Amino acid sequence: MALQAHLVELERKHQILETELHEALVHLSTDDLRIVELKRRKLMVRDQIARLRQNVDTLH
C-alpha cells in the first residue's frame, strides 16, 4: 500500500506543477527560465509516476 500512497502523492505534485505552469504561462511577466524549470520538474514527476505505475503493475 505504500507504493499506492506514493503514487497518489506524486499525482498531487504533478497537478500542483500543472497549475503553477498554467499560471506562469498566463502572466506575461513570468521569466522564461521559470517556465522551463516548471516544465522540467513536471516531466520528472510524470516519469516517476510512470515508473511507479509499472512497478505496481508488476506486483499485481
Report pLDDT digits (tens) over 32-54. 999 999 999 999 999 999 999 99
- For the chain, the structural domain boundaries read 29-60
Mean pLDDT (the chain) is: 93
pTM of the full structure: 0.86
Instruction: pLDDT band for 1, please (50, 70, 90 cuts).
Output: low
Orientation of helix 32-59 relative to helix 2-26, angle to 10°: 160
- Say if residue 60's pLDDT is above 80: no
- Say if residue 3's pLDDT is above 80: yes
Q: How far apart, in whole angstroms, are the C-alpha atoms of residue 41 and residue 4?
A: 21
